């Protein structure tokens, strides 16, 4: 019924997550409530490993999944993925801290981002991460200088900008010339940066990195990206430069629209591997790294909200729930679509409704013109596919605490994040003496 959500079922008119009744979860833990399915995360990860195992078989090289922590850095989620053998793609000192707490091996951690601070670079060098994905020449210089001060050598890969249209939302496109990320290939800046690094004493060049965007539902941009990256690897070889790793980033989309089939991990693997193998006679095959985030955790997440009020205006019927844009920003900032369903499916004709949160913002709307079965005050509704960029983008707007989160599997339900209290909201505020 819900494409991509293996753990969600409807039994006797009630929505269940890993076999647990959603309404009962809402009653026990309160709303708004994030529910993450351990079962679904495992399945999503295992599909990547299974799909790309042929690369290791064909080339004898390593394949690494480095989970993009920006999607959802809850410690239970990151520990689960680490236990499964997953690496980490981090973009801050905080995410690196969580990766270390999660037990991710240092040689499976890559550090992305276009504005790394000296403190973060020190932390990465001390951790002996697999690579900093260098985003600019000034960053390269800072990494080298910092490593020299520490008496260490830092591993670096170079994020190139291939000027590939990812055919996705403009705000999550990262691989076009106009985007802020990466070193331009066509102008020669990327080659210049790598040659500079080879002259430096405190960096070790290990690879090339690329990431063109998020929520890609077309395979062709991945093929174009892979080809441009491998063409650059060939150019590097002509200059006598051999690299160990090719990191193609993440970006595989998920089926937010349940009536639309989208590419799978297996489709992605076929496209990338077949393209890379075209270069077997030109260069030695590198280790392959991918940085999926959304496609590992999005479909594992459900946000439950309780209906507190229903009102009708001359133009719409509004369902007011206690889950708002502070809990899940995507509809407000990206106009993103998420499937919404009542957790109790009643008999009766479907009606067109709008589902909104309670914040003082007109953009605090989770779904417009949704045709749903009858809903009453006190019901619970489920917003699907919120495991990525849900809790990680949550905030305290309107002085609201961020929600609880639970993890489910077939054996039980586990609290993995406590709800923030009013005291939490002001815990870091300081009142100067003259105002006391």
Catalytic residue set: 360
Say whether 294 counts as a known binding-site residue.
Answer: yes
Tokens of 409: 């599997």
Say whether 24 counts as a known binding-site residue.
Answer: no
- If one counts every other C-beta atom within 10 angstroms of the C-beta of residue 259, the result is 7
Q: With H, G, I as helix, E, B as strand and everything else as coil, classify residue 330.
A: helix
Cα distances (angstroms) measured from residue 164 to each of 160, 175, 178, 260: 11, 6, 11, 24
Please provide residue 109's backbone torsions phi and psi, each rounded to the nearest 5 degrees.
-110, 125
Say whether 361 counts as a known binding-site residue.
Answer: yes
**Whole-angstrom distance, CA of residue 393 vs CA of residue 73:** 10
Say whether 412 counts as a known binding-site residue.
Answer: no
- The radius of gyration of the chain from alpha carbons, rounded to an integer in Å, stands at 23
28: CB partners within 8 A, 6+ apart: 413
Say whether 43 counts as a known binding-site residue.
Answer: no
Please provide residue 349's backbone torsions phi and psi, each rounded to the nearest 5 degrees.
-70, 140
**Whole-angstrom distance, CA of residue 6 vs CA of residue 3:** 8
Instruction: Report the sign of the C-alpha dihedral through residues 193, 199, 200, 204, in that order.
Output: positive
Say whether 293 counts as a known binding-site residue.
Answer: yes
250: CB partners within 8 A, 6+ apart: 68, 89, 211, 214, 290, 291, 292, 293, 294, 295
- Tokens 């030695």 identify what position? 284
Burial group, residue 216, by CB count within 10 angstroms (0-12, 13-18, 19+): buried
Q: Which long-range contacts (CB under 8 A, 24 or more apart) does 217-220 make?
A: 217/167, 217/168, 217/253, 217/260, 217/262, 217/263, 218/167, 218/263, 219/263, 219/267, 219/268, 219/271, 220/167
Say whether 330 counts as a known binding-site residue.
Answer: yes
Q: What is the DSSP letter of 170?
A: G
Say whether 292 counts as a known binding-site residue.
Answer: yes
Say whether 235 counts as a known binding-site residue.
Answer: no
Annotated binding site for substrate: 294, 330, 334, 361, 389
Annotated binding site: 251, 291-294, 330, 334, 361, 389
Annotated binding site for pyridoxal 5'-phosphate: 251, 291-294, 389
């Amino acid at each position: 019924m819900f494409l991509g959500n293996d753990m969600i079922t409807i039994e006797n008119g009630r929505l269940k997550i890993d076999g647990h009744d959603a309404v009962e979860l809402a009653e026990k833990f309160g709303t708004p409530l994030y529910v993450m399915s351990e079962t679904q995360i495992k399945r999503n990860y295992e599909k990547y490993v299974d799909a790309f195992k042929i690369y290791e078989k064909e080339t004898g090289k390593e394949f690494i999944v480095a989970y993009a922590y920006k999607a959802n850095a809850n410690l239970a989620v990151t520990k689960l993925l680490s236990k499964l053998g997953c690496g980490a793609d981090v973009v801050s000192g905080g995410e690196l801290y969580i990766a270390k707490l999660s037990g991710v091996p240092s040689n499976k951690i890559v550090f992305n981002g276009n504005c790394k601070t000296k403190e973060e670079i020190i932390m990465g060098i001390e951790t002996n991460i697999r690579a900093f994905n260098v985003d600019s020449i000034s960053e390269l210089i800072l990494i080298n200088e910092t490593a020299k001060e520490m008496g260490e050598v830092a591993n670096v890969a170079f994020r190139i900008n291939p000027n590939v249209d990812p055919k996705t939302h403009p705000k999550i496109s990262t691989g076009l010339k106009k985007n802020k990320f990466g070193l331009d290939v066509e102008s020669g800046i990327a080659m210049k940066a790598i040659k500079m690094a080879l002259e430096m004493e405190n960096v070790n060049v290990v690879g090339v990195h690329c990431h063109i965007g998020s929520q890609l539902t077309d395979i062709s941009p991945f093929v174009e990206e892979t080809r441009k990256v491998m063409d650059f690897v060939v150019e590097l070889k002509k200059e006598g430069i051999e690299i160990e790793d090719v990191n193609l980033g993440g970006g595989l989309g998920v089926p937010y629209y349940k009536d639309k089939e989208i590419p799978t991990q297996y489709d992605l693997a076929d496209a990338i591997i077949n393209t890379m193998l075209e270069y077997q006679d030109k260069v030695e095959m590198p280790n392959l790294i991918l940085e999926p985030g959304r496609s590992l955790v999005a479909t594992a997440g459900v946000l439950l909200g309780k209906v507190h009020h229903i009102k009708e205006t001359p133009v719409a019927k509004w369902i007011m729930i206690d889950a708002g844009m502070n809990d899940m920003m995507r509809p407000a900032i990206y106009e993103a679509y998420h499937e919404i369903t009542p957790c109790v499916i009643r008999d009766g004709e479907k009606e067109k409704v709008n589902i909104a949160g309670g914040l003082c913002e007109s953009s605090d709307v989770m779904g417009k013109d949704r045709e749903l079965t009858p809903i009453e005050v006190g019901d619970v509704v489920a917003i699907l596919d919120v495991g990525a960029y849900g809790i990680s983008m949550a905030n305290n707007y309107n002085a609201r605490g961020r929600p609880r989160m639970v993890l489910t599997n077939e054996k039980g339900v586990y609290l993995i994040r406590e709800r923030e209290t009013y005291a939490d909201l002001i815990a870091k505020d300081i009142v100067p003496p003259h105002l006391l």
